[in-house]
A and B are shown apart, each in its own frame.
Chain A
Amino acid sequence: MKPIRSLDQLAEHVQSSCTKKKIAVAAAEDSNTFDAIVKATENGIVEAVMLGSAERIRQLCEEKSFDPAKFTIIDIPDELKATQEAVRMVKAGEADILMKGLVGTDKFLKAVLDKSAGLLPAKQIMSYVCALEIPAYHKLLFISDTAVLPFPDLNQKIAMTNFSIKMAKRFGIEKPKVALIGASEKVSLTFPNSIDYAMISKMSQRHQLEEAIIDGPLDVFLACDKESVEIKGVKTAIDGDADILIFPNIEVSNAFYKGLMLFAGAELGGLIQGTEKPVVVMSRSESPKSKYYCIALACLMAEER
């Protein structure tokens, strides 16, 4: 497989090479995600099961001049019950992907995380990985965790790293380069993150993680800019050509991607990781394009191998 280098290539790849996925949208009466679902349906990458208030879903279809017959609509006006039913469908294999509509994130995740009926296996760490397309960078950059784990500990960082590597591999990147991001490349006993990173690099060297080229701590310059590597003379196998950035905490990763979206025209596709099946949760503030990419990403990750 030729590596996917942009989000449009992702969308094309899904459309041309993946089977159509069934997506269960919980509380689907959501004007924020509606356009993305419509586009995904029209492009034939998903078949949408819209769970929620049938009346309001039909109303939305009318407003957007979309034929409601192209959806399967299941009338469950209560948002929690709609979510629980959507989770059940995905767990039972009646749908391939779960997506959050107009339901609070708290309620939605409660249903996803339910011990017996939910989608997260016992002891599994849940995290979030984004594929970020930055006009000034020569390829996609996978980043984690921008949404789920606020202050990841070592084990959670290991999980974030493994999830990101697995996702990058699904994009056809055979041996992704993973940079563990800090403020500098030095190891310092007063910076606990740098110690976690030393540990993760060593675990990778000892083949205890998903196969990849891993190094850290590195700053963003050393991770993504060859010239900085030369100027600083730091020996790193990442060599300014990172595919994946692992961030020390959610504040850093969040500021990184939002800054790039706002000031540098970046787009993204993101997905929850760790669940039995792909779960799409997108923020209202994301661009229409990014919302579509999230669905395309879920389709790629749901594809049987």
Chain B
Amino acid sequence: MSVKKLDQLIDLAKTKEKKKLVVAYGQDAHTLGAVSKAVDLGFVDVIIVANKEIVEKVCKEEGIDPSKFEIVNEPNEISAGRKAVNLINEGKGNMLMKGLISSDNYMRAILNKDEGLLPAKATLSHISVFEVPTYHKLLITSDVAVIPAPDISQKISIANYLIKTAHRLDIENPKMALVCLSEKTNPKIQQTVDAAIITKMADRGQIKGAIVDGPMGFDLAIDQESAQIKKFNSPVAGDADCILWSNIEAGNVFYKTVTKLCHAELAAIVVGAKCPAILSSRGDSTKTKLYSIALAALMA
């Protein structure tokens, strides 16, 4: 059964082998609250690299039993980030999460050439899974946070990340839309050329495991009626599982629109590193954090 709601991410994660989550500088109430729930739900064990005193103090305030975590004492933010990454490299954890550490320091620890988590030539990118109340299934979308303007090579990597994510959600042959302004190709608009290349690569089995089509407008990807009105014939039309955005602005505006105006919930992770990494912001709900942990667990 494919995952159709974000709650089912947790259900599915519970059926898999338990994963070990390393939290970089996890000493704030939001992070500790979310990881505590994840531990209670039983799909992860947690190592927290942070100021032990503060962790214990916050746990007490929040009514969390700190003994459910393994705590590695590291009061310095930057060192905590590095130590968390080291634990992953030593094989002591298989997923990473950002706590109170700044996004910059967190990413720097991941991207560090000698001691980081990025394999040579790998593309570091970002995947979100949205539950939008008005859409009939989950939407797995590409980078809204890491690569501003992916080139064709990066888009090919991203397409594969999207497919892998769908597969981990038990969506067997996901439909992927390469979203541009419209379905027309134009040699002068590079995004449409990229879309033509990616679809042909999928035709030729160079990108496997999905039904891929593009370019197409976002309306055509998610709305059957628009496709009918525009007489747009595509195996993806109106029923997309995955959306590959042309650039970060498109994805970011979508993300903010559906979460703020359409009551959408999401899970999001950074992909391409040795392990999935959660890059949540303080603005994210506890639900989003928990869903993201479940998504990371499924990807790990």
Chain A positions within 8 Å of B, measured between CB atoms, are: 154-155, 185-187, 189, 195, 197-199, 201-203, 206, 208, 234-235
Contacts and interface: CB of A to CB of B under 8 A. Distances in A.
B79 interface: no
A189 B152 CA distance: 8
Given A187-B206, A189-B153, A195-B193, A201 B187 contact: no
B197 to A, nearest CB: 5
A197 B185 CA distance: 13
Contact of B197 (A155, A195, A234): A195
A206 B187 contact: no
B193 A199 contact: yes
B184 interface: yes
B185 A186 contact: no
In the A-B complex, list the 3 residue pairs whose CB atoms are closest, starting with the nearest.
A198-B200, A202-B196, A199-B196
Given A187-B197, A189-B153, A201-B196, A206 B203 contact: no
A206 B193 contact: no
B187 A154 contact: yes
B187 A185 contact: no
A198 B204 CA distance: 11
- Of the listed residues A189, A203, A206, A234, the one surrounded by the most CB atoms of chain B closer than 10 A to its CB is A206
Given A189-B152, A189-B153, A199 B204 contact: no
Interface of B: 152-153, 183-185, 187, 192-193, 195-197, 199-201, 203-204, 206, 215
A155 B200 contact: no
16 contacts: A155-B187, A185-B204, A187-B206, A189-B152, A195-B196, A195-B197, A198-B197, A198-B200, A201-B196, A202-B185, A202-B199, A202-B200, A203-B185, A206-B183, A234-B204, A235-B203
Contacts of A234: 204
B184 A206 contact: yes
Nearest to B214: A202
Nearest to A195: B197
B206 A199 contact: no
A292 B143 CA distance: 61
B204 A206 contact: no
A89 to B, nearest CB: 38
Nearest to B151: A189
A206 B203 CA distance: 16
Contacts of B187: 154-155, 199
B206 A186 contact: yes
Contacts of B183: 206
Given A187-B201, A198-B196, 7 more contacts: A155-B187, A185-B204, A187-B206, A189-B153, A202-B199, A203-B185, A206-B183
